[in-house]
Structure 1
Amino acid sequence: MDLDNLAIGLICGVAVMARGAMLIPDWSLMPSSPSQFSSLNRWLRQFASLPEPAEFDYPFARSDIAMLEQVEAGPVQLDEQTWDEMLLDDYHMQLADQTSILGQQRLHQRLASGMASAASRARITALLAAPAQQAALEQAMRPLRTADMEVAALLCGAPPSAPPWWSRWLLLPTLVLLVALLAAWLVAPLAWAVVVPVWLFLMALQMRFYDRCKPWARSVFTLQQILLVHGRLGALDSPFTAQLREGVRAAGVINRQITPLGWIKMIPLLSEYDDWLMLGNIRRYFHSLRVVRRERAFLRQSFRLLADLEADVALARHVRGRPQFCWVQEADARQLSLDAMVHPLLGGAMPLSLRLDGRGAFISGQNAIGKSTLLRGVGLNLISARAFGFCYAQAAHVPMLPLYSSMQNEDSLDGGESLYIAELRRARELLALAESGEPALFLIDEIFRGTNHLESVAAAAAVLHSLAARHLVIVSSHNLVLGPLLEDCLAPWCVRRDDAGALQLAPGVLQATNGIALLAQRGFDAGIADKAGRVFDWLSTHMAQPADCGGVLERA
């Protein structure tokens, strides 16, 4: 039985015996249902100043999860638009299931910075081969999931300010107050002239630091769990915890130094009096702050070791049993090969294969067949390859390049920006990144759909040709004329269904479109479909499949 439950039991006994000192308690007053017992439990905890039991997996804000990457300011390989378009928040949530804030922050940092390492790959491989040891690690790290405050900024960012010199003497005004109260009560009523200003001084200090003590107590709780888990893992006879063994003793010492006295909180209302009359919370705040400042290097190392280990455990749990999983092999900047690739966020996704050698890809296909999903699948696999070293495919040879996308440009009423202006702004950003000289990979979906067809094709051809001259570009579009226009730098690929209805990615440009056929399927009458068909036939003779356009951009 832990101390909290023991205290509640003692209080229950005292409460029952207090009913007129009866020898036989009135059992009708005892809780008779789980909800009543829960209410009594909660009331007793409040009466005894006991904290509520810690809950698992506190829902952290995105800014908290990104804090480690922000404070360490590593090389970011994904801008915000690419992050959103690749659905990386959803992907991160899937990876970080049953993971504390430490592991969540490390996974986010790897995704943003592309920090796959040989050591992480070796550990994940070993964890996949040892499920029993992985289960033991997960059990030992379970207390980390009760943390409800991130501490990356505290440990890895700027150090906290030093406590003021007078913080070591906070018991002195309390002693003066007690002496003055005793004197006023026994011998010297004039001592009230001392009691009142000292009491006001204590109240002023409490109001000055109260808002600072509350979040700090949550940070200290997180540090306590880190030190507790450090000790638990270091005590395990496991090759995965060898780096933690040396600091087991130090972790225990520091944990005891920053842990407040537990017996104070077990006595009814004593903790509140301790805070308001003896400045207990402020004294604990300054004391633990001094300990954290003194031991910050050890705490930071412990934080990083646990975050790395928990991230690798989460990744091993994520990929275990996946049929589409492989370790990647690095390819040249202009080569890419993904065999039987799937999108990890789509259950039951059909595998597709894509191979590029020297040129990027122009992808066409009928409406709603999955071109955008294919681009996101490729992008997410490339990000996973850079961040973790694996892909969701049977085999993968990919370049370890920064990735940038343009897939969901939208107009903005607040910013006074039309769709086409938003597309132009993003295209200019991509061109600026391309001109920086660093090799990169660009994913673009339906470029310049915000203007008329002729200008859309013209602007798209110019921008894509410039990007693809020096970088690997994968683009999808319904403007099929871009296929032959850009064939010198983008290999044409078409997403289609085979006779069995399965998706496949084959060389070439889409031949049979379905935009007109969808009119009838969506309830338009035959007259509308007939008129649309006649206009389409007329336009097709002029633009859809031109006889000679391969050299237009070169001549320009």
Structure 2
Amino acid sequence: MSTSNREAFYLKHEDELTKEKANITRRKNTIGWTRVGVFALGLWGVVTVWPETGSALLIGIAAIAIFLALLNYSMRLQDQVNMLSALIRIHQEEREIGNHRFSNRYNGDNLAPRQHEYSADLDIFGRASLFQYIHRTTSEQGHRHFASWLLSPAPNAAIKARQKAALELSNEPGWGIHYQAIGQQEPVGRSIEEKLGLWLSKSPEFFPKTGWKLLAAIFPFISLACLVMHIAGLMSAPLFYLLVLVFVVIAFSITKMVIPQYQALDKIVPQLNTLSGKLRWIESSSFSADQLVTLKQQLHPAGKPAASASITGLRKILDRFDYRLNPLVFLPLNTFLLWDLRQVLSLEKWKSVHSADIGKWFETMAEMEALNSIGRLAFNHPGWTFPVLTEEQGDYSGASIGHPLIPESTRVNNDFSTSGKPAIALITGSNMAGKSTFLRSIGVNQVLAMCGAPVCASTLTVSNMRIMSSMRIADNLEENASTFYAELSKLKSIIESVNRFEPVFLLLDEILRGTNSHDRHTGSRALVMQLIRHNACGMLATHDLALTSLVEDYPKAIRNYHFDVSVSGEELYFDYRLKEGVCKSMNASILMKKIGIEL
């Protein structure tokens, strides 16, 4: 599917959803007016037949029953309207993202590690970041799970499994859009998982004890028998009211003991509905990719009900707890039936059955959200490819490699290939010619490859390597660290990883820029030679043309590349094409003249 066809896909489905929403909204409005009519007719009927109480009661009950049935139907229609609204928003958002207007989306800035090997250099999080562009996660768990994929390479087996799952999801975009829409209704947060975790960590107080079970079974018979006897005139009012007082004391003494559990799980029902809906959507689907099949199977283990049904059971218990919000209903229920005791017994029984499952349910939801993100990326970019993984060391070979965050209309792609160790690509070039962008293109695509996502290239074969970069260095006033010291700290980490022969791919941009030119050249030359001695691989962008002479000493380990510029008068023209060899044209003097420096 081309870019224009993708745009047409979202536009077509958005139009269909908008029409469906309008139809259901009209039906809902009709039901609303019908409810008003039923209420008016019921009231008129009761007034007309009064004082025939039997007929009036019959008409009133019938009117109330019809009214409640219509109300229930109207609420179901509203749920459909809410879902359609979410689906429409997603289609609109996808068209905006396709036009590279996505800066208003959640950017994961709070997920960015304070210190990381490449996150800041490659714009993984924050405004106009990779995460902001490609995530389709809706829960906090999903955000964090997908962020973890972008922050560290997965093993090859996991990458291949994710690729197959993402490819299958990319062929069913409607499935993933619906899954995302469910999550947007009431996004699941970490608070619900923390509340459930805290509740699960506490020992049950009621369920395992036989006495509480017997009390819950016997008490209603006694209390209701007293009520029937009083109504039948077999028990005097003073005795009955005295017994009711005893019932109240017993019931609300138990309520006082139950309240902490109720408060521990207060206000989680809306998010439980979302979690249940997302898991039900997975359970009801058919998959062929191994990872998707495994996720589905985890939701319905042998001998237990499906996860969505279990969560619905918990929600119903909590809904019954909420009867306390209506005193006219709760007071008689608790007084005569020990309502709170019955619910807490059900709650703790649920805990005993599902305590080991809850964590898996959240993990499954988050995993599917992450897979849905890379599946949508594959659908939206049919010209991209899933990379081939190789067991060879230091392999990075691709054609038409581009930066994913640059619009296709302005993006310039380049071919690049390196294999084996040691291998250092020295890249020289004019200012603004594209050196840093190219390094980031290489790095970001390696990050995508290592998380199982498609890459912005026509072909790409890579080894399993972790990116380590030194590109965007800033001082740290809080830690009293200068820019130069901050860069040295980063280079120290790189050297240590290389010395341990870890599988890393280095991206170094204008290193040691915070010192004088002599020390900078001496240090850069020494570092390149040290990296070669320790079988490192990577790229170094530099303005220091003297470094390029190292190819004479290490012809098998070093290759020179460059980006150049064409000059016409005082105008500069860039083609952003990677070429072999050393750059011969520089533009700094022209740029300095343009800002008013008299040379």
TM-score by length of 1: 0.68
- Counterpart CA distance in 2 for 1:282 and 1:420 is 66
Map 1:244-259 → 2, pairs under 5 A: 244=296, 247=300, 250-251=305-306, 253-259=309-315
Distance 1:434 1:189 in 2: 83
**Matches of 2:119 and 2:193 in 1, distance apart?**
22
Q: Which of the numbers 403, 409, 420 marks the counterpart of 2:484?
A: 420
C-alpha distance in structure 2 between counterparts of 1:460 and 1:162, whole Å: 58
Deviations 1:54-75 (A, max 9, x none): 9969988959979xxxxxxxxx
Give the letter for the 1:247 counterpart: H
Following TM superposition, by how much is the alpha carbon of 1:379 offset from its aligned partner in structure 2, in angstroms? 0.3
Aligned to 1:26: none
Provide the alpha-carbon RMSD of the alignment: 5.4
Judge conservation of contact 2:206–2:345 (CA < 8 Å) in 1: no
Residues 407 and 446 of structure 1 are in contact (CA less than 8 Å); yes or no, is this contact kept in structure 2? yes
Higher mean displacement: 408-417 or 97-106:
97-106
* Alpha-carbon offset, residue 417 of structure 1: 1.0
* 2:385–2:456 CA contact under 8 A, matched in 1: yes
Aligned to 2:405, which of 335, 345, 353?
A: 345
Partner SS state of residue 119, structure 2: helix
Partners of 1:350 and 1:503 within 8 A in 2: yes
Aligned to 1:521: 594
Aligned to 1:121: 163
Where do residues 167-206 of structure 1 align in structure 2 (5 Å cutoff)? Answer: 202=255, 206=259
Partner SS, residue 85 of structure 1: coil
Structure 1 position 393, deviation (Å):
0.9
Tell me by how many angstroms 1:383 deviates: 1.2
State the match for 2:446 in structure 1.
382
- Work out which of the residue numbers 229, 250, 255 in structure 1 matches 2:281: 229
CA distance in 1, matches of 2:529, 2:248: 82
Q: Is the 8 A contact 1:155 1:296 kept in 2?
A: no
Q: Distance in 2 between matches of 1:461 and 1:502?
A: 29
- Residue type of the partner of 2:395? Q
Any idea what SS the aligned residue of 2:559 has? Answer: strand
The 1:398/1:79 distance shift into structure 2, 3 A limit, reads: farther
CA distance in 2, matches of 1:281, 1:429: 59
Partner of 1:110: 149
- Cα deviation for residue 422 of structure 1 reads 1.0
Specify every segment of 5 or more residues in structure 1 that has no aligned partner in the other structure, as ranges.
24-40, 67-75, 531-556
Cα shift at 1:148: 2.3
Change (3 A) 1:312 1:443: same
Deviation, 1:16, is 8.3
Distance 1:203 1:267 in 2: 16
Shift of 1:445: 1.5
- The one-letter amino acid paired with 1:520 is K
Distance between the aligned counterparts of 1:103 and 1:217, measured in 2? Answer: 19
CA distance in 1, matches of 2:320, 2:31: 12
Tell me, in whole angstroms, the C-alpha distance in 1 between the residues paired with 2:331 and 2:468. 53
> Given the alignment, which residue of 346, 370, 373 partners 1:314?
373
**Cα 1:218–1:282, aligned 2, differ >3 Å: closer, same or farther?**
farther
Between the aligned residues of both structures, percent identity stands at 18
- Residue aligning to 2:584: 511
502-511 or 270-279, larger mean C-alpha shift: 270-279
Corresponding residue of 1:164: 204
TM-score, scaled to structure 2: 0.64
Residues 176-234 of structure 1 show CA distances to partners (whole Å, capped at 9, x for unaligned) of 9x98xx99x9568999899799869856864x556532365465344422442244326
- Structure 2 unmatched runs, 5+: 1-23, 48-70, 91-104, 231-236, 568-572
Q: Does 1:82 align with 2:118?
A: yes
Q: Distance in 2 between matches of 1:262 and 1:283?
A: 12
Match of 1:364 in 2: 428
What is the rounded CA distance, in whole Å, between the counterparts of 1:416 and 1:18 in structure 2?
A: 78
Distance in 2 (CA, whole Å) between partners of 1:293 and 1:372 is: 56
2:456 equivalent in structure 1: 392
Higher mean C-alpha displacement, 154-163 vs 135-144:
154-163
Q: Which amino acid aligns with 1:165?
A: E
Counterpart in 1 of 2:385? 326
Distance in 2 between the 1:63 and 1:217 partners? 28
Asked if the contact 1:329/1:397 (under 8 Å) is kept, the reply is yes
Deviations 1:297-343 (A, max 9, x none): 55555555555454444323212353641232335323322211110
1:300–1:201: structure 2 CA closer, same or farther, 3 Å change rule? closer
Query: Counterparts of 2:34 and 2:252 in 1: how far apart (Å)?
Result: 33
> Judging changes above 3 Å, is the alpha-carbon distance between structure 1 residues 253 and 205 closer, same or farther for their aligned structure 2 residues?
closer
1:94 aligned partner: 133
Alpha-carbon separation, structure 2, partners of 1:465 and 1:285: 70
AA partner of residue 463 (structure 2): P
CA distance, structure 2, for counterparts of residue 290 and residue 396 of structure 1: 53
Change (3 A) 1:472 1:368: same
Native 8 Å contact 1:101 1:147 kept in 2: no
Q: Summarize deviations over 1:417-474 as a string: whole Å, max 9, x none.
A: 1111111111112122222232211111221212222222222332333234321121
Aligned partners of 1:20, 1:92: CA distance in 2, in Å?
61
Aligned-partner Cα distance in 1 for 2:121–2:341: 46
Return closer, same or farther for 1:119/1:416 CA change in 2, 3 Å cut-off. Answer: closer
Measured after TM superposition, the shift of residue 518 of structure 1 is 0.8
**3-state secondary structure, aligned to 1:481:** helix
Cα offsets for 1:1-20 (capped at 9, x unmatched): 99x99999899789989999
Q: Distance in 1 between matches of 2:435 and 2:581?
A: 14
Q: Cα offset for 1:344?
A: 0.4
Q: Shift of residue 378 of structure 1?
A: 0.6
Q: Distance in 1 between matches of 2:360 and 2:475?
A: 46
The answer for the alignment partner of 1:407 in structure 2 is 471
* Cα offsets for 1:40-67 (capped at 9, x unmatched): x9xxx9xxxx9x979969988959979x
CA contact (8 A) 1:203 1:276 kept: no
Counterpart residue identity of residue 545, structure 2: L
- Of 484, 487, 512 in structure 1, the residue corresponding to residue 549 of structure 2 is 484
- Give the aligned residue type for 2:305: A
Give deviations 1:477-534, integer Å, cap 9, x for gaps: 2233333247634322111247985221112222222112112212x1xxx432xxxx
Query: Residue 139 of structure 1 aligns with which residue?
Result: 178
* Contact 2:388/2:460 (8 A) holds in 1: yes
Conserved 8 A contact 1:326-1:396: yes
Corresponding position of 2:561: 493
Stretch of structure 1 that moved more, 484-493 or 458-467: 484-493
How far apart, CA to CA, are the structure 1 residues paired with 2:197 and 2:322?
A: 36
3-state DSSP of counterpart to 2:200: coil
Matched, 1:355 2:410: no
**What residue is the counterpart of 1:28 in the other structure?**
none
C-alpha separation in 1, matches of 2:322 and 2:43: 22
SS of aligned partner of 1:429? helix
Task: In structure 2, give the amino acid aligned to 1:161.
Answer: S
Contact 1:366 1:514 in 2 (8 A): yes
In the aligned structure 1, how far is the partner of 2:44 from the partner of 2:355?
A: 55
Q: Which residue of 2 aligns with 1:474?
A: 539
> Using a 3 Å threshold, how does the CA distance of structure 1 residues 240 and 271 change in structure 2: closer, same or farther?
farther
